[in-house]
């Protein structure tokens, strides 16, 4: 049974879940649970400490290319947006790698838009070969690939896959993704499984908060994570909780997701799946990120830019060509100091290529 069948079973929540853990998860996400958030936070903090310790894994994203065939409404790389398009050449990849690795970061996340012409799998593979010299762990956040394609990248040194469904509600999904290969809902939905089958060590999924009712989306995200944990016990499953941010297309999120809502999602996920990785990116402000640390977060991006070549090449269009605007511009060193003050160790390296 693929995840789609499970999703179909729960999609309208007409029938209450039979599984008691799933039922509790639903309760933790409910409006009623808002009055118990402090108790939930205590439980979540305690679970996170036990299973992950007083540490925070840091990673930095590196954008390789922003060419894209999709028209995702919320994304700055939308093919309809008039922005400067660029793919890094190998020399530029090397320069970006040198810059990022000098900050101490050993875990890198590489990203592209969806263009099999501008950023084909072979291009990604060649970039990975360069990056291997600088980083001990390489994750990809690129367009959905086939299992055979993921299997090409794994032996080259890619050990992590990040791929967000963006929105689990099928109807909203088709509105948000009007054209391009990404409009294929099911191909994207099964991508995490294909990645897990191909031998990835970690698979990270997510829902873009703001596109749909957050309770529904967070619930399905939790189910998806549990489904992956149950079916791939050898793979580390993680989630991200990105909220829609301003970008070139000017899209505004239709559904509000407050800081309080974010916290409730983190707590509910942690209590439901105690060993789940939870990432918070620089989409969120420095202040909020600081406050979220003890509540269940296990990974943070640092020293981020969402522009192709953003670390070493100056912007030709005044910085318009970002995927989205970030809220936390601090350097890796500053994030590290903040974590230290909070009593958490920044972990730069937690894997090596074998």
Partner 1 sequence: MSDDILDIGGRTVANRLFIGTGKFSNYAVMNQALIEAGAEIVTVAVRRVDSASKTENILGYIPKQCFVMPNTSGARNAEEAVRIARLARAGGAGDWVKIEVIQDNKYLLPDNIETLKATEMLAKEGFKVFPYMGPDLSIARRMVDAGAAAVMPLGSPIGSNRGVKTRELIEILVKEIKIPVIVDAGLGRPSDACDCMELGCAAVLVNTAIAIAEDPAGMARAFSEAVKAGRRAYLSGIPATSPCASASSPLTGFLINSA
Question: Looking at residue 137, what DSSP letter applies?
Answer: E
CB under 8 Å to 13, separation ≥6 — which residues? Answer: 26, 216, 219
Show the beta-strand stretches assigned E in the chain.
55-65, 107-112, 137-141, 158-162, 202-206, 236-240, 277-280, 299-301, 345-347
Rounded-to-integer distance, Cα 236 and Cα 346, Å: 19
Q: Is 135 in the site for partner 1 (CB under 8 A)?
A: no
53 binds partner 1 (CB under 8 A): yes
**By CB under 8 A, residue 55 contacts partner 1:** yes
Among 78, 81, 87, 136, the residue binding partner 1 under the rule CB under 8 A is 136
**Bridge pairing between strands 345-347 and 236-240:** unpaired
Q: Is 59 in the site for partner 1 (CB under 8 A)?
A: no
Q: Which stretch binds partner 1 (CB under 8 A): 43-51, 206-214, 255-263, 292-300?
A: 43-51
Taking the complex as a whole, the smallest distance from the CB of residue 278 to partner 1 amounts, in Å, to 14
Q: What DSSP letter does each residue of 180-193 carry, written as one string?
A: SGGG-HHHHHTHHH
Q: How many CA atoms lie within 13 A of 304 on its CB side?
A: 27
- Separation of alpha carbons 99 and 53, rounded Å: 29
54 binds partner 1 (CB under 8 A): yes
343 scored as a contact of partner 1 (CB under 8 A) = yes
Residue closest to 86 by CA, chosen among 303, 281, 326, 312: 312
Residue closer to partner 1 (CB basis): 16 or 234: 234
Among positions 2, 49, 89, 331, the unique one binding partner 1 when judged by CB under 8 A? 49
104 scored as a contact of partner 1 (CB under 8 A)? yes
Q: Is 352 one of the binding residues for partner 1 (CB under 8 A)?
A: yes
3-state secondary structure 30-71: CHHHHHHHHHHHHHHHHHHHHHHCCEEEEEEEEEEECCCCCC
Supply the minimum distance, in Å, between the C-beta of residue 76 and partner 1.
Answer: 34
Rounded to a whole number of angstroms, the minimum distance from the CB of residue 180 to partner 1 is: 34
Q: Work out how close the CB of 136 gets to partner 1 at its nearest, in angstroms, rounded to a whole number.
A: 8
Which residues, 274 to 293, sit near partner 1 by CB under 8 A?
A: 275
Q: Does 95 participate in binding partner 1 (rule CB under 8 A)?
A: no
For residue 221, what is the enclosing H or E element? helix 214-231
Q: Assess contact for 62 and 140: CB atoms under 8 A.
A: no
The answer to whether residue 20 forms part of the interface with partner 1 (CB under 8 A) is no
Instruction: Report how far apart, in Å, the C-alpha atoms of 81 and of each of 124, 137, 209, 307 are.
Output: 24, 33, 22, 14
Site string for partner 1, 213-252 (x = CB under 8 A): ----------------x---xxxxx---------------
Of 148 and 352, the one with the shorter C-beta distance to partner 1 is 352
d(CA 274, CA 229): 11
For the bound state, the minimum distance from the C-beta of residue 129 to partner 1, rounded and expressed in Å, comes to: 19
Among 7, 219, 251, 344, binds partner 1 (CB under 8 A): 344
Measured from the CB atom, the residue of 62 and 105 that comes closer to partner 1 is 105
- 154 binds partner 1, rule: CB under 8 A: no
For residue 185, state whether it binds partner 1 (rule: CB under 8 A): no
CA 42 to each of CA 47, 342, 343: distance values in angstroms, whole numbers, following the listed order: 9, 16, 17
Residue 270 within binding range of partner 1, rule CB under 8 A? no
User: Contact positions toward partner 1, by CB under 8 A?
Assistant: 49-55, 104, 106, 136, 201, 229, 233-237, 275, 340, 343-345, 347-352, 354
């Amino acid at each position: 049974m693929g995840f789609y069948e499970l999703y179909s079973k729960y999609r309208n929540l007409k029938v209450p879940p039979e599984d008691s853990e799933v039922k509790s998860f639903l309760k933790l996400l409910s409006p009623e649970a808002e009055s118990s958030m402090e108790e939930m936070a205590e439980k979540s903090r305690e679970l996170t400490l036990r299973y992950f310790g007083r540490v925070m894994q840091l990673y930095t994203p590196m954008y390789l290319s922003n060419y894209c065939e999709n028209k995702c409404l919320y994304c700055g790389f939308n093919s309809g947006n008039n922005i400067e398009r660029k793919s890094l050449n190998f020399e530029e990849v090397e320069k970006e790698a040198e810059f990022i690795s000098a900050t101490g970061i050993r875990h890198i996340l590489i990203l592209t838009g969806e263009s099999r012409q501008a950023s084909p799998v072979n291009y990604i593979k060649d970039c990975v070969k360069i990056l291997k010299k600088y980083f001990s762990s390489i994750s990809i956040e690129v367009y959905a690939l086939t299992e055979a394609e993921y299997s090409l990248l794994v032996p080259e040194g890619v050990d992590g896959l990040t791929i967000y469904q963006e929105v689990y509600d099928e109807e909203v999904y088709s509105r948000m993704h009007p054209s391009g290969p990404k409009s294929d809902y099911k191909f994207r939905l099964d991508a995490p499984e294909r990645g897990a089958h191909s031998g990835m060590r970690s698979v990270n999924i997510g829902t873009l908060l703001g596109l749909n009712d957050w309770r529904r989306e967070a619930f399905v995200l939790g189910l998806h994570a549990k489904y992956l944990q149950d079916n791939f016990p050898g793979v580390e499953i993680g989630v991200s909780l990105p909220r829609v941010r301003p970008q070139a297309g000017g899209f505004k999120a239709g559904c509000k997701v407050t800081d309080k809502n974010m916290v409730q999602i983190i707590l509910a996920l942690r209590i439901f799946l105690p060993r789940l990785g939870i990432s918070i990116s620089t989409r969120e402000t420095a202040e909020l990120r600081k406050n979220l640390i003890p509540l269940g977060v296990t990974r943070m991006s640092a020293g981020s830019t969402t522009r192709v070549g953003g670390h070493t090449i100056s912007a030709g269009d005044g910085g318009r060509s970002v995927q989205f605007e970030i809220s936390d511009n601090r350097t890796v060193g500053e994030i590290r100091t903040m974590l230290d003050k909070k009593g958490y160790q920044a972990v730069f390296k937690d894997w090596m290529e074998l």
